[in-house]
Amino acid sequence: MTKVPELFGSMVFGDKAMRERLPKSTYKALKKTIENGEPLDESVANVVANAMKDWAVEMGATHYTHWFQPMTGVTAEKHDSFIQPNGDGVIMEFSGKELIKGEPDASSFPSGGIRATFEARGYTTWDPTSPAFVRDGSLYIPTAFCSYTGEVLDKKTPLLRSMERLSAEAVRMLHLLGETDVTRVATTVGPEQEYFLIDKDLYEQRVDLKLCGRTLFGAKAPKGQELEDHYFGSIKTRVAEYMRDLDEELWKLGILAKTKHNEVAPSQHELAPIFSTSNIATDHNELTMEVMQKVAERHNLVCLLHEKPFKGVNGSGKHNNWSISTNTGDNLLSPGKNPETNTRFLLFLAAVVSAVDEYQDLLRITVASAGNDHRLGANEAPPAIISMYLGDDLDALVHSIINGEDYHSHKAARMQTGVDVLADFKKDKSDRNRTSPFAFTGNKFEFRALGSSLNIACPNYMLNTMVAEELSKFYEELKDAENLDEALKALIRKALTEHQRIIFNGDNYSEEWVAEAEKRGLLNLKSLPEALSHFMDEKNIALFEKHNIISRDEMRARYEIDLETYCKQLNIEALTMADMATKDILPSVSAYIRELTDTALAKKALSESLSVKFELDLINSLTEKQEKFAQLTDELAEETAKAAAIEDNLEKAFAYRNNVFAKMEELRELGDSMEAKTAADFLPYPTYTDLLFGV
């Protein structure tokens, strides 16, 4: 086996390859673009393109593709070969123009009405801050995507813009504080990825998993996650082999896959990377999800990334660990040993607290999806109410600032094991709160409400932008202060006082918190339609337009796209459910009822005294359920047709949520109860026991 240091990044045109293959002047110019955001000259691009092509061909590539992230929720790619005619043969060429600009047909990508379907032209443009890589015989070039008329139609561009805005505002603030050596600030992210692995042969027998990514029917298995024995348990051999292959493939692509373990639900697992800048972390997470699914195929497995593939056990999320660092190596969210005297930390903390409170609706919107509607508020995920957890010590410090009281930092206590051979160690100053949507965890915030399939660009560009806005307002208040130190203290106290309602250190699952949050004026947006109805609020439009992240029209497009996607997903689920009910479940239950009837009649013919009560009771019960099930199936079809006919997307989304989804839940409950009473030989598809314990 190749050693990991040699394997890592071997398929990436990263810093090592660039240093070796580019002239010094070209390398320096490209590094300035990557590190400082300086524009790249086309002549430099020509040299880079040629070197990149030579390297890629040596790595086995014959094609190149501009790899981008349209508003579909997945990545997109169009592959062109390097070949150019040369007399009777061909040569391999790749120009700077081809590197910088691509032209995919954009007509079928979601645009939210921002452009007509017949207007097909769109552009991709190279993002030099995210390294190119070779995969499956092609050179992949990370790119941004826009329409012919310049509207942003992807998820990368707003993220890159937000990173620049946060950097500009943070640098301006740090210079005001006297830290003039800082020239750039970057947000970093470490997204923990949860997923399920199931046997591919069983998957192929479930049309709901193939079309919807989740089971639409399925009675609970006798065992679920009650014993909590799967969590951090011994990894099964087949899964361990998959994880080993996955690590190697990710390491080749320069992805910092670090931690792997079993999660809470049976067949559920997690992979966590080391932190990267928000842009690279986003590209890497999209790539990770793709590689997870491809590697699974080698092991006759299927990787499920739906937020709730199985009812009754934990769904899958993606914890977005977000922080801010300077180019001089300082983490701006690190409290240090004495946070009460660390004014810089308190200032940036106040900015984050203010941002999360003022734009709680945006944070909720950015994690809203049809899949995540199943998770938020359940015991495996934080509730739909956005709040912040700071930990006991930091919370006490915040309240001392608000109340003008003295605060003394608690020294880290030592954990004494009481066993001589076990070393004592320092205890963290606060526990973790797994119920909080947005928790401070030492030197970063963990945004825990993301669904497992979500593109993390969205929550991160919103986080970056809202924090940039608060820093901008802070700067305006401080720039002309006669006594900066006193002005800083007053500003921090004012911000924390005005926004303290967003801070909650207790149990976010409790009914008491729901009532308390309502008193505080916090939003409780339980579904995507409820959340998205706030997206076009004027304060949100003003935020993104002020910082040149997306325009009003581009926001409207995203609003329409998200609503359309939600409606389409629920429509597909409803149609699939009705199809399964009609073609699989009703015939299977009917066959079983006939079998029971034949058995009962045979017993009765054999002997009048022979008891047939069990069969008769079961026949009557199943027949009654079957009749109701058929009726509900027809009602689901009617509600689906009514919802589909609605023209306004928000009204349509509410109809799918309140009427169609409600009918689906009713139909499922009845279908699952019939499954529990039907003999295994008559069931039309693998059960939860098969799926969750079949690997």
Concatenate the DSSP letters of all residues of 450-499 into one string: -BTT--THHHHHHHHHHHHHHHHHHHHHHTT-SSHHHHHHHHHHHHHHHT
Nearest Cα neighbor of 273 from 67, 379, 283, 234 is 283
Domain 162-550 has CATH 3.30.590.10: yes
Given this model, what pLDDT does residue 103 score?
83
- 3 state SS of 111: coil
Two structure tokens written together for 119: 């207007």
pLDDT of 656-695, one tens digit each? 999 999 999 999 999 999 999 999 999 999 999 999 999 9
Given this model, what pLDDT does residue 114 score?
73
- 317 to 29, 119, 243, 268: CA distances (angstroms): 40, 37, 19, 11
Note the pTM of the prediction, 2 decimals. Answer: 0.94
The phi and psi torsions of 621 (rounded to 5 degrees) equal -65, -50
Given this model, what pLDDT does residue 602 score?
82
pLDDT of 385-410, one tens digit each? 999 999 988 999 999 999 988 887 66
Of the pLDDT bands very low, low, confident and very high (cuts 50, 70, 90), residue 380 is low
Contacts of 226 (CB under 8 A, 6+ apart): none
Domain positions in the chain = 4-154, 162-550, 565-692
- 10 to 34, 243, 285, 502: CA distances (angstroms): 20, 19, 18, 45
Of the options 1.10.10.10, 3.10.20.70, 3.10.20.600, 3.90.960.10, the CATH number for the domain spanning 4-154: 3.10.20.70
Given this model, what pLDDT does residue 1 score?
59
Two structure tokens written together for 181: 């050596």
Query: Cα(593)–Cα(601) distance, rounded to whole angstroms?
Result: 12
Query: Cα(458)–Cα(235) distance, rounded to whole angstroms?
Result: 33
Of the pLDDT bands very low, low, confident and very high (cuts 50, 70, 90), residue 87 is confident
pLDDT at 433 over 80: no
pLDDT, average across residues 163-187: 97
* CATH architecture of the domain with residue range 565-692: Up-down Bundle (1.20)
Half-sphere exposure of 541 (CA within 13 A, CB side): 12
pLDDT at 378 over 60: no
Residue 617: CB atoms within 10 Å: 11
Q: Are 558 and 532 in contact (CB under 8 A)?
A: no
